[in-house]
Amino acid sequence: MRPSILQPLFSDVDTLKGIGPRLRTLLTKLIDRPGEVKDPRKIDLLWHFPSGVVDRRNRPKINDLKPGELATFDATVLAHKGPKFKGKARFSNAPYRVKLEDSTGEIDLVFFRIDPRYIERQMPIGEIRYISGRPELYADKLQIPHPDHILTKEEFDNFPPLEPVYPLTQGLTSKTLQKAMSQLMPLIPALDEWQNAEWLKKNNWPDFQTALKSIHRPNEIEDISASSPARQRLAYDELLAKQLSLALVRRELRAKKGRSIKGTGAMREKIINALPFSLTGSQSMALSEIYADLESENRMLRLLQGDVGSGKTIVALLTAAAAIENGHQVALMAPTEVLARQHLESLEELAGKAGIRLGLLTGREKGKVRKQILLALKEGLIDCLIGTHALFQSDVLFKELAFAIIDEQHRFGVEQRLALQAKAGPLGAELLVMTATPIPRTLLMTNYGDMDVSKLTEKPAGRKPVTSRVIPIERLEEVMSGLKRAIQEGAQAYWVCPLVETSEKIELAAAEERHAHLKQLFGDKIGLVHGQMKGEDKDKVMAQFASGHLPILVATTVIEVGVNVPNASIMVIEHSERFGLSQLHQLRGRVGRGERQSSCIFLYSSPLGATAKARLETMRSTEDGFVIAEEDLKLRGGGEMLGRRQSGERDFRVANVPGMQELITAANDDVKLILHSDPDLTSDRGRALRKLIYLFECDEAIKLFRAG
């Protein structure tokens, strides 16, 4: 269970004074939480850091006040002067004034449309109040309209001279959030130190409690900056917690006994002989690494990352064949139905020549068809089942599952990986996960630290480079003319419509509008696919395009991954400035797969922002997915690159991964030392590190602690 000292931080925010149902709803909208947590907790509020500060340290006397200069001072309330009300009226457009004085002079506070009773209660005549606001000149006289703060002596004693400014949501005021935060400060516990003493001293970092308090109650403006000792310390805490938990999970997996899958090599030989090309050096290297994992008695968990067109699918088939030769079954998971069907089509011929029996299970297979597939799977009549999330369902039972391959792995969570492995019985399934998004080393360490990694860095022989051009939308007619000439010569083209993050309907409308426009220019043989189409309709259009019946396919980003039409040699991406680098790279990877010289046209609307300009220049200058991935990491950040930001998940609460390479490397080294010297985390530092892992909710490692 979570250590008792941390329990108060994980209680609901509605236990704070002043947080009722309405404010709780607003905080739910505002505060980031781990994916499985629905209701905001105090710890989530503490990780909501200020974005700036208001400096209220200027403490002049009344006679020293200057127009427009933020000031905080104390004065005695002399008099109230406001409009007279008749009947039930409580508000007036006439100003309501409160006169104050100190030893040097007098000044008026001015309020408009305010209930006099409220002001009278807040500032009784004869009492001292602390005022913070900006004086203004009116008729050559200084006054302060609607001051920011009116405080009693007791309130002022708890008032921060540097007032943090937090990101807000509509309906939530800064004062309300400040009150909630002030209640949290006494709850931040003093915890046993989990950091190495010399490392702390070298970096001049405070302890955890001091660090977190100084961000919400800064003594200097610099305290809230990302480079401050407090922020750096907390970022390192998070990186250490994440990497330590990944290392513990990896160690536990390695300790579990797996199968030794050797195979005969017969099926693999038939597949290789049927290939129209030779395997690349990196494919051969990756295969030897995966075969070695399969043959070992330790549990396999390997990430295969390959650039667009590097040949991951062939590697997947050959590794599947190794398990099938040994009498086992294989599951091949894809995140979308389009990609699952694409895998079936691309593997069917080669699998058939090797005698491998493939099956397909997606959400579309229903009724009698689904029952037949499930029966064949259970009886062992399907060697490799290709499917989507439908494979996780409880009635999907294998006869002898031993190997699972998950494509585009970042779209599946750890729980889903474990659910699929569980279908393989007590020994679990050997696991190969694949991604077409090249992942920089920084993200490999922080997000995939529980896996061994193989890379495909070459493209199969015969692949021609794609010519990339960046063209303003004003030259659309010129692009249309060039497209018309290419179509007349037998080429096929994709036309991808703008990404609209706020609405699928707007994105669809843009695609339909472009589709109608192209039909006017090129005739009726223009296809359209988008995410809201039924699967059967989508497949029908894709089949017509693949057969060459449709020269142009208008699409939304549904074609980003997995679509393979070798004759398609032109990719036009409209409003390319709206896409991320990874998406642009994946889209461009749909062409350059056949004999024709291929081209990709990035259409953009002016003016271009600095980030969009940098993206398009990167796409124009290189096809290297690993170079593009590094640049994408700099421009966008790790969570967005890996597809998590769109779903509301954040990998890190404090750490800014792209900008913290040195800290990530240091945490990686620190974890190795910790597990070498204290493998069970039983030393004083080890027990403190356990609290750290709970604090940052690294759940998989926590499950290991609970298990023993």
Q: Per residue in 537-559, pLDDT tens?
A: 888 888 889 888 999 999 887 66
- Label residues 444-483 b or e (16+ Cβ within 10 Å = b): bbbbbbbbeebbbbbbbeebeebebebbeeeeeeebeebb
Asked whether residue 451 carries a pLDDT value surpassing 60, the answer given is: yes
Q: How does residue 332 score in pLDDT terms, banded at 50, 70 and 90?
A: very high
- Amino acid, res. 92: S
Mean pLDDT value across residues 28-55 = 89
Confidence check: pLDDT of 641 > 80: no
Report d(CA 300, CA 428) in Å as an integer. Answer: 10
Q: Residue 108, by phi and psi: left (phi above 0), alpha (psi -120 to 50) or beta?
A: beta
What spatial distance separates the first Cα and last Cα of the chain, rounded to whole Å? Answer: 12
Mean pLDDT lowest for which of 59-68, 378-387, 611-620? Answer: 611-620
pLDDT, residue 308, reads 73
Q: Is 248 left (phi over 0), alpha (psi -120 to 50) or beta?
A: alpha
Model pLDDT for residues 152-201, shown as the tens digit of each residue: 999 999 888 999 999 999 999 988 999 999 999 999 999 999 999 999 99
Q: Residue 648 — φ and ψ, nearest 5°?
A: 85, 0
User: Which one, of 623, 566, 578, lies nearest residue 600 by Cα?
Assistant: 623
**pLDDT at residue 558 in the model:** 65
The two tokens of residue 231 are 């922020």
Question: Highest-confidence range of 297-301, 526-530, 586-590, 671-675, by mean pLDDT?
Answer: 671-675
Distance CA 39, CA 23 (A): 12
Is pTM beyond 0.75 here? no
Task: Out of 3.40.50.12500, 2.40.160.20, 2.40.50.140, 1.10.510.10, select the CATH number for domain 62-159.
Answer: 2.40.50.140
Tell me which CATH homologous superfamily contains domain 266-456: P-loop containing nucleotide triphosphate hydrolases (3.40.50.300)
Residue 304: strand, helix, or coil? strand
Give the residue-averaged pLDDT of 577-596.
84
Of 127, 67, 61, nearest to 98 (Cα)? 127
- Residue 502: pLDDT band (50, 70, 90) is very low
What percent of the chain is modeled with pLDDT above 90?
Answer: 53
pLDDT of 274 higher than 90: yes
Rounded-to-integer distance, Cα 25 and Cα 41, Å: 12
Q: Hey, which residues does 306 pair with through a beta bridge?
A: 456
Residue 367 carries which side chain, given as an amino acid letter? G
Q: Mean per-residue pLDDT for 485-497?
A: 92
Query: 646 pLDDT exceeds 80?
Result: no
Give the integer Cα–Cα distance in Å for 121 and 116. 9
Beta bridge mates, 150 = 131
- Residues 641 and 200: their CA atoms lie apart, in Å, by 32
- Residue 459 or 202, more confident: 202
Q: Give me the half-sphere count of Cα atoms (radius 13 Å) on the Cβ side of residue 365.
A: 21
| pLDDT tens column, 31-41 | 888 767 888 99
Q: Average the pLDDT over 231-241 and give the result.
A: 94
Q: Are 299 and 499 in contact (CB under 8 A)?
A: no
Using only C-alpha atoms, what is the Rg of the chain?
A: 31
Dihedral of CA 692/49/132/17: which sign? negative
Decide if 338 contacts 360 (C-beta within 8 A).
Answer: no
Provide the 8-state DSSP code for 687.
H
Please determine, for residue 368, whether its predicted confidence score (pLDDT) is greater than 60: yes
**Residue-averaged pLDDT of the chain:** 87
Strand blocks (E) in 308-446 = 329-333, 358-361, 384-387, 401-407, 430-435
DSSP state of 81: E
What secondary structure letter does DSSP report for 188? S
pLDDT computed for residue 91 by the predictor: 66
pLDDT digits (tens, 9 = 90+) for 651-707: 678 887 656 778 888 998 999 999 999 999 999 999 999 999 999 988 767 776 655
CA nearest to 307, candidates 465, 157, 137, 422: 465
- The mean pLDDT of 409-438, rounded to a whole number, is 74
For CA atoms 167, 172, 176, 181, give the dihedral sign. negative
Strands in 149-151's sheet, in edge-to-edge order, are: 136-138, 141-145, 106-111, 96-101, 71-81, 128-133, 149-151
- The pLDDT-based confidence of 445 (bands split at 50, 70, 90) is low
CB atoms within 10 A of CB 122: 14
Give the Å distances, CA to CA, from 700 to 245, 302, 455, 578, 695. Answer: 7, 18, 26, 36, 13
Question: Which superfamily is assigned to 467-622 in CATH?
Answer: P-loop containing nucleotide triphosphate hydrolases (3.40.50.300)
* pLDDT > 60? residue 503: no
pLDDT per residue as tens digits for the range 240-273: 998 898 888 778 777 777 789 988 999 999 999 9
Measured distance CA(290)–CA(271) in Å, rounded: 17
Question: Mean pLDDT over residues 431-457, rounded?
Answer: 74
Smallest CA-to-CA distance from 410 within 648, 644, 649 is with 644
Please list, in sequence order, all residues whose beta carbon lies within 8 angstroms of the beta carbon of residue 612, skipping any fewer than 6 positions away: 577, 578, 604
pLDDT tens per residue, range 121-163: 999 999 999 999 999 999 889 999 999 999 999 999 988 899 9
- Could you give the C-alpha distances from 380 to 356, 386, 390, 507, 635, in angstroms and in order? 12, 14, 18, 44, 48
Residue 444 predicted with pLDDT over 70: no
Round to whole Å and give the CA distance between 538 and 194: 54
CB atoms within 10 A of CB 95: 17
Tell me whether strands 71-81 and 96-101 are parallel, antiparallel or unpaired: antiparallel
- The rounded distance, in Å, linking the Cα atoms of 433 and 416 is 12
Residue 294 has pLDDT above 60, yes or no: yes
> Which pLDDT score is estimated for 183?
94
Parts of the chain belonging to CATH 3.40.50.300:
266-456, 467-622
CATH 2.40.50.140, the chain: domain bounds: 62-159
Backbone angles phi, psi at 555, to 5 degrees: -150, 155
Please tell me the number of Cα atoms within 13 Å of 344 on its side-chain side: 20
CA–CA separation, 74 and 155 (whole Å): 12
